[in-house]
Chains A and B, each alone.
Chain A
Amino acid sequence: MQSFWAARGCVLQQPYDVEVGAGTMAPETFLRVLGPKPYRVGYAQPSRRPADGRYGENPNRLFKHTQFQLILKPPPVNVQELYLESLEAIGIDLAKHDIKFEEDNWEWPAGGAWGVGWQVMLDGLEITQFTYFQQCGGLDLDPICAELTYGLERIAAFLQDVDSIYDIVWAVDPETGARVTYGEVRLAEELQFSVYNFEVAEIDKLWTHFNLYEAEAQSLLEKANVLLASEEADPAEKRRFPLLATYELALKCSNLFNLLDARGAISVTERVGVIGRIRALTVGVAKAYAVQQVS
């Protein structure tokens, strides 16, 4: 998949090294889609969703799954055809399968982001979320971009025809034929993080962390807004302002929110309020970033 997209001009990035719930949240998507500059990038992104953990007992659900995230900005006119070719490239002979593009619109309220698109169904299995991003960080996008999010575990299980994600063969020793499965690599992680996320994580400490990250992000944003709005300030001064670091602090808040949610510490009434706090940070960064880009 990487070779396929690299051959079409995509930057191959490495996974982002801060906890995220989806590939969209990595700055290679969230910030790069802002502004007019064309960009093509692909990367595998481990995505954490604490509430989805099942202690490794459910063969189809994971606390942490891997997305292959692709951004095409602006989308080429043959983006769907390219996408289908990418499936052929990883060994799916489409002539032997049933493929459908079914309506599925996507949104990330805490990031002020949404788009329209499809879930791509292969023999009844959702293998990709295909989205035409319309807004991100509360900003209208122009040009818009296409976001392709491939579910790697699902696709691997499909290709290897196994019923459980944990049975996916991750590596085979060419000499001995010995196999390493997904379960051997990741089962303990799924179990232990489920225990932590659902039972052990200390709620008040999570809130403390959340508040600390939020406070730092807020104070940085306040400074950024003053600096970026100033007409006298040196452009170089504006460019070196650490908005990328500010965004990471916002991502930390997002992950802590997910943990608090998994711990059942956020009532439905509170939920909207906390999402609003995270949104204030992500949207704040996005707006400042858009200004910084033209500084």
Chain B
Amino acid sequence: MLEIGLEEVPARMIAGAEAELCKRTVLLLARERLISTTGSNVWTNDGLQVDGKQVAWCYSTPRRLAIHVTGVSSKQGDLHDLVEGPPVTAAYKNGEPTAAAHAFAKKVGVQVQDLLRTQKTKGEYVCARILRTGRTTAEILASELPKEVLGLYWAKNMYWRAGKPERFVRPVRWVVALLDSTVVPVEIAGIAAGNASRGHRILHGEAPVIVEAASQYREKLRAASVVVDVAERRELIRKALDAATRTVEGARWREDEALIEIVVHLTEWPSVVLGGFEREYLTLPEEVLVTVMRDHQKYFAVEGADGKLAPYFLAVLNSKADEAGAEIIRHGNERVLRARFKDARFFWDFDQKTPLAKRVESLNNVTFQKELGNYAWKTRNNWAAAEMLAKTTLSRGIKVDESALRKATEIAKTDLTTELVKEFTELQGIIGGLYARAQGHGESVAQAIYDQYTPASIENRIPNTVEGQLFGLADRIQTIVAMFGIGMAPTGSKDPFALRRAANAIVKILAESGLPLTLTDVLDSYTGIVYADMDPKRKDIPRDIDSDETLLYVRAFLRERLNFFLKDVRGFAYDVVNAVLAAEANDVRDAIARAEALTEVRGSEDFAAISAAFKRIKNILRQAEEKGFAIGSAKDAALSPEAQQLADAAAGLAPEVALLRQERAYGEALALIASLRPAVDAFFDKVMVLDPDPVIRGAHLGLIDQVLRGFSGIADFSEIVTV
């Protein structure tokens, strides 16, 4: 049983650290042969199960990380070990042991005549069998456990002791380390382990909580008003939220898993109070109210039976207040929320004095990226891209309100200058949309602005309107091309401008909207001569940020994001995705349709055979190329019956398959291709493709090349992994 007592650890870091401590400790014990993890290991949020039996439990609260492992030996078993020494050639001269042999024997503590030999690839070596006496568990833990604890990953560390001997997330204040009921002499960050834990700061106070035996840990802490089990706290909080909400008729609390996880890691003994606010604040937009409650106060919002926001909130406390105490705490939280809402309303009213249209000029003072330009520059470039996308869309028969799109583009970024966005940066875009609506810009304009950052993550919805979708594409491709142009492309885990997210959004919008646009259309919308105009030192040298090289990289980047989308978001098998994208990787919706059709047929026996055959065709063609064999045409020679049969079958199917492809009836097209199987099988069975006669060989190669080309338009089947 190990518990690290800490000053309050940031909520966002606890779950990861708890799991890591559990893993590190268990692996240490297994490595040192102190526990057996033989069997099927299942790591859960609660610890580790081996063959269905829980052997490790992990716990955490803001003030502690803990782990309890059962079945730990008190001592390592002794071990016979083979230690390798010098080469035999160096160890013996004329059959007599040399100084090297004696030195080795002395080092490992055996008699020189007991030395053994072992054959290695590099030659024969001397070796010795020695007995390693197992160390006690306490001894091992004392030397190894501190390294594991101090090796935990934290997003942000600090020093606290003079001389700065170690860094950790927050100061370590106590350590409990027990083997059953014996204290393990571990020292971590200057703190010697004992059996004294601490309870809830307020509910229990400073008196030590003595844990006499490892197995008592959970209950001892519970008695000190600390629920150490995270899942249990989560459940308590959910139930308390339900119970508090039930006091308002027809009300429901707004589910918010992310917020639940935060409050779970902010509390040791959670409870909930329901508070209220004046109805007048409900005239503020719901987005603002919810942001204040959730992001700033960590309150849950409450909605009425009609789904609309109700004038209540739920605060999760780290205490168990009685009726009177709860009243005081409710009152305090209400006061704070009221002040916050008052602020928000003050900003809202203040911002209306300068409507968005009047803020366009001030975008000159807001930097987008210092090497590129300000938001006025960004806005001009966004329009160049949006206009081109609108024209393409219109030319393909989809209606676009161009004037609304233009207006939306023009004022989309002006909310950056408003007080409300300065206060609630996470509402950027949304505030702009709300202001545009309030300032009479019409629904199309308002909605496009409102939706400009959605989808922010791959789970979010796409913009609701065509104008919003087009602006979303334009804004993002402009950013991506411009950033790539100045060398800010994402590398490895570094993506400071969230360009991957931007590209994911482009793919998602193309996938889920009805826009008749391809990735190439999007990329082409932002080409032409585009200059960075704000680099103060290089004002006289306009920089071409969309060079051919840049566009090449962006194209590859978008393709990689499409690959990610199909695989990780839509869940297609990697070989299906590779096959589909090898054929064509430009039209997102078409790629999805092809991937669906391919997934459908890939399990069938005929199709697997076809895939294998295509792979074979590719290999043969590659060989032929390497050997310099000419590829002719099937018509060049008199073919064997099997070859002729394949040629006829392929020629017969080709027009039908092409027609189905055109109609995007990919499932039927693939079924048709699979029907080639008997002809293909017979061909490979009976025909020697690389015939010694160059004319016949050329004809064969021409035939299989034609089959490959003719039927690979939906997917490159040779990419499909077959068993």
Q: Is B686 an interface residue (CB 8 A)?
A: no
Q: Which of A89-97, A237-245, A286-294 contacts B (4 or more CB under 8 A)?
A: A89-97
B319 and A101 contacting across the interface, CB-CB below 8 Å: no
Is there contact, CB below 8 Å, between A269 and B367? yes
A196-229 contacts to B, CB under 8 A, are none
Q: Contact: B329 with A123, CB < 8 Å? A: yes
Contact present for B159 and A144 (CB under 8 Å): yes
Closest to A272 in B: B370
For the complex with contacts A84-B201, A98-B329, A124-B337, 4 further pairs of A-B residues with Cβ separation under 8 Å are A58-B342, A96-B325, A103-B12, A132-B158
Q: Which of B8, B162, B163, B164 has the largest count of A CB atoms less than 10 A from its CB?
A: B8
**Segment of A8-16, A22-30, A74-82, A246-254 in the binding face:** A74-82
A124 touches B7 (CB 8 A): no
Contact with B along A121-155 (1 / 0, CB 8 A): 01111000000101000001011100000000000
A158 near B332: Cβ-Cβ < 8 Å? yes
Give chain B residues whose Cβ lies under 8 Å from the Cβ of A81.
206
The answer to whether A98 and B337 have CB atoms under 8 Å apart is: no
Asked if B80 is an interface residue, CB under 8 A from chain A, the answer is no
**Complex alpha-carbon distance, A101 and B11, angstroms:** 10
Bound CA span A100–B269, Å = 12
In chain B, residues 188-216, which have Cβ atoms closer than 8 Å to a Cβ of chain A? 201-202, 206
| Chain B contacts with A in 458-512, Cβ cutoff 8 A | none
A interface residues, tally (CB under 8 Å): 42
In the assembled complex, the CB of B52 is this many whole angstroms from the nearest CB of chain A, namely: 38
Contact B370 A269 (CB under 8 A): yes
Contacts of B335 in A (CB 8 A): 125, 158, 161, 163
- Determine the distance from Cα of A84 to Cα of B7 in the docked complex, in whole angstroms: 13
Are A100 and B159 closer than 8 Å at their CB atoms? Answer: no
If A100-B318, A101-B8 touch, whether A124 touches B336 (CB-CB below 8 Å) is: yes
**Min CB–CB distance B361 → chain A (angstroms):** 13
- Find out whether the CB atom of A96 lies under 8 angstroms from the CB atom of B367: no
Kindly list chain A residues whose C-beta atoms are within 8 Å of the C-beta of B162.
74, 142-143
Whether the pair A97, B62 counts as a contact (CB closer than 8 A) is: no
Task: Quote the shortest CB–CB distance from A78 to chain B (angstroms).
Answer: 9
Q: Chain A contacts of B370 at CB under 8 A? A: 269
Q: Mark B213-241, 1 if CB is under 8 A from A, else 0.
A: 00000000000000000000000000000
Q: Does B153 contact A (CB under 8 A)?
A: no
CB of A65 within 8 Å of the partner chain: no
Are A124 and B365 in contact, with the CB atoms below 8 A?
A: no
- Residues of A close to B62: CB separation below 8 A: 101
**Chain A residues whose CB sits within 8 angstroms of the CB of B332 once the complex forms:** 97-98, 122-125, 158
A98 near B318 with CB under 8 A, answer: yes
* Residue A60 at the chain B interface, CB threshold 8 Å: yes
Closest to A146 in B: B160
B residues less than 8 Å from A57 (CB atoms):
346
Which residues does chain B contribute within 8 Å of A116, judged by CB atoms?
Answer: 156-158, 170
Chain B residue numbers with a CB within 8 Å of A158 are: 332, 335
8 A Cβ contacts from A143-200 to B = 143-144, 158, 161, 163
Which residue from A77, A97, A118 sits with its C-beta under 8 Å from B8? A118
Whether A103 lies near B11 (C-beta < 8 A) is yes
* B297 CB within 8 Å of chain A: yes
A265 to B355, CA, bound (A): 21
Query: Does A102 lie at the interface of the complex (its beta carbon under 8 Å from any beta carbon of B)?
Result: yes
Q: How far is the CB of B297 from chain A (nearest CB, A)?
A: 6
- For residue B120, give the distance in angstroms from its CB to the closest CB of chain A: 50
A-B contact pairs, 19 of them (CB 8 A): A59-B339, A59-B342, A60-B339, A77-B173, A84-B201, A97-B328, A98-B319, A100-B8, A100-B318, A102-B8, A103-B8, A103-B11, A116-B156, A124-B299, A125-B332, A134-B158, A142-B162, A268-B366, A269-B536
A119 to chain B, nearest CB (A): 11
Once the chains bind, are A268 and B365 in contact (CB under 8 Å)? Answer: yes
Question: B263-275 toward A: CB 8 Å interface, digit per residue (1/0)?
Answer: 0001100000000
Q: Does B321 contact A (CB under 8 A)?
A: yes
User: Is the Cβ of B315 less than 8 Å from the Cβ of A60?
Assistant: no
- The answer to whether B434 has its CB under 8 Å from any CB of chain A is no
Q: Does B444 belong to the interface (CB within 8 Å)? A: no
Cβ-based interface call for B567 (8 A)? no
B342 pairs with A98, CB closer than 8 A = no
Q: A60-B342, A124-B337, A132-B158 are in contact. Are A142 and B164 (CB under 8 A)?
A: yes
Identify the closest chain B residue to A135 (Cβ). B159
Bound state CA distance, A140 and B321, in angstroms? 43
A151, chain B: closest CB distance, angstroms: 12
Question: Nearest-CB distance from A74 to chain B (Å)?
Answer: 6
Contacting pair A101 B336 (CB below 8 A): no
CA A134 – CA B342 in complex, angstroms? 36
The answer to whether A105 and B156 touch across the interface, beta carbons within 8 angstroms, is yes
Q: Considering the chains assembled together, what is the distance between the CA atoms of A74 and B161 in angstroms? A: 8
A101 touches B343 (CB 8 A): no
Residues in A neighbouring B297, C-beta threshold 8 A = 124
Query: Judging by beta carbons under 8 Å apart, are B346 and A96 in contact?
Result: no
Determine if A98 and B339 form an interchain contact, defined as CB atoms under 8 angstroms apart: no
Rounded to whole Å, the gap between the CB of B11 and the closest CB of chain A is 7
The distance from the CB of A166 to the nearest CB of chain B, in whole angstroms, is: 13
List, in ascending order, chain B residues with CB within 8 A of A269's CB.
365, 367, 370, 374, 534, 536
Q: Which residues of A contact B158 (CB under 8 A)?
A: 115-116, 132, 134, 144
| Chain B hits for A99, CB < 8 A | 201-202, 318-319
B201 touches A98 (CB 8 A): no
Q: A132's contact among B160, B336, B365, B366, by CB below 8 Å, is which?
A: B160
Give the contacting residue for A60; candidates B319, B328, B333, B343; CB below 8 A. B343
Residues in A with CB closer than 8 Å to B170 are 116
Residues of A within 8 A of B329 (CB): 96-98, 123
Question: A54 on the interface (CB 8 Å rule)?
Answer: yes
In Å, the complex CA distance between A97 and B162 comes to 34
Contacts of B164 in A (CB 8 A): 140, 142
Chain B residues with CB below 8 A from A61, complex form: 343
Task: Report the Cα distance A103→B332, complex, angstroms.
Answer: 21
